[in-house]
């Protein structure tokens, strides 16, 4: 078999979310295979690979084909004992360090519920994420889907007046903002320093395709130079526009799926599932080469 990428929804969404077949990405890739996947990411923004039985080591090896990897420093457990050994692998699960399902009032679990809000990975870091790669190791019997929204098409469909308004805006992003939206405020002084706001452009131009997109996230809580209430109302309006169903692909997970997405072109959110069941996902993250502020310059 040879590598093939086809649209998941060829009728209504032919250029958003592709399904990849004909390749085992748990083994080393050739330069040509990695380039074909990169090209698929440029076209679709989201790629789905089925039946990829990754270990953390093989997932890390696959991810390194696409750039420098981020450390998993975005959760409350950073710098402490972790369930997953490598600091380059994000623990996107509802399990504690003893592999037991966390209680509903567990502090880490409550913090992680912010992932149910629309966001772009690591937009709260000065240099945000390029690609995210999420491997489904154990999935619940129902629910737990991940939804993706196409920020390129959402930008294209804005009226010209709104595009002009957005063009030069700079937002402040922080997990302090996104967690406040769900009522989580249990931060230590160390957390507040680590999650201090960073600046991100609201409109980005993709370095490979040249397409513009909205760089939105629940982490965005302010616009430089704007009153906070006006900024948040404006960002909410943009998010409501950008997450209309016509822009959204909902992925129903199967065990050993690997879903890869471009944070420069998409937003995503996790959906609820039975909190008594295990959902164990491991994410590696490829960092952008530079900040959005440097990109604009």
CA 210 to chain centre: 20
Model confidence over 244-286: pLDDT tens digits?
A: 999 999 999 999 999 999 999 999 999 999 999 999 999 999 9
pLDDT per position as a tens digit, 128-170: 999 999 999 999 999 999 999 999 999 999 999 999 999 999 9
By the 10 Å C-beta count (0-12 exposed, 13-18 middle, 19+ buried), 19 is classed as middle
Per-residue pLDDT band for 296 (boundaries 50, 70, 90) equals: confident
What's the pLDDT score for residue 212? 98
> Bigger pLDDT: 55 or 77?
55
Under DSSP, the state recorded for 65 is G
Q: By C-alpha distance, which of 139, 140, 118, 134 is closest to 259?
A: 134
Q: What is the pLDDT of residue 124?
A: 97
Given a cut of 70, whether residue 103 has pLDDT beyond it is: yes
Which one, of 175, 199, 92, lies nearest residue 139 by Cα? 92
> In angstroms, rounded to a whole number, what is the distance separating the alpha carbons of residues 125 and 139?
29
Percent of the chain with pLDDT over 90: 94
How far are the Cα atoms of 20, 26, 49, 266 from residue 1, in angstroms, in the given order? 12, 16, 14, 30
1 pLDDT band, cuts 50/70/90, is: low
CA geometry: angle 200, 203, 205, nearest 5 deg = 105
pLDDT in tens, 192-243: 999 999 999 999 999 999 999 999 999 999 999 999 999 999 999 999 999 9
CA angle 186, 266, 271 (to 5 degrees): 50
């Amino acid at each position: 078999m040879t590598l093939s990428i086809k649209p998941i929804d060829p009728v209504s969404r032919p250029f958003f979310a592709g399904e990849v077949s004909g390749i085992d990405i748990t083994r080393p890739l050739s330069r040509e295979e990695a380039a074909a996947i990169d090209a698929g990411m440029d076209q679709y923004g989201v790629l789905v690979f089925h039946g990829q039985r990754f270990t953390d080591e093989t997932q890390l090896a696959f991810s390194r084909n696409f750039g420098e990897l981020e450390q998993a420093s975005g959760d409350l457990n950073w710098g402490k004992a972790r369930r997953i050994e490598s600091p380059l692998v994000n623990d996107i699960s509802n399990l504690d360090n003893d592999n037991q399902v966390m209680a509903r009032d567990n502090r880490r679990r409550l913090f992680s519920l912010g992932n149910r809000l629309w966001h772009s990975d690591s937009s709260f870091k000065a240099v945000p994420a390029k690609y995210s790669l999420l491997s489904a190791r154990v999935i619940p019997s129902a629910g737990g889907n991940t939804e993706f929204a196409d920020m390129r098409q959402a930008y294209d469909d804005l009226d010209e007046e709104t595009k002009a308004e957005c063009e030069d805006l700079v937002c402040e992003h922080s997990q302090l903002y996104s967690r406040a939206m769900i009522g989580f405020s249990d931060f230590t002084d160390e957390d507040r320093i680590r999650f201090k706001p960073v600046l991100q452009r609201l409109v980005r131009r993709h370095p490979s395709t040249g397409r513009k997109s909205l760089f939105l996230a629940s982490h965005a809580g302010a616009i430089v130079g704007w009153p906070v209430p006006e900024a948040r109302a404006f960002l909410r309006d943009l998010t409501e526009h950008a997450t209309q169903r016509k822009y959204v692909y909902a992925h129903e997970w199967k065990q050993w799926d690997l879903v890869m997405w471009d944070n420069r072109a998409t937003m995503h959110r996790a959906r609820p599932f039975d909190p008594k069941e295990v959902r164990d996902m491991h994410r590696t993250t490829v960092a952008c080469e530079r900040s959005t502020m440097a990109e604009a310059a």
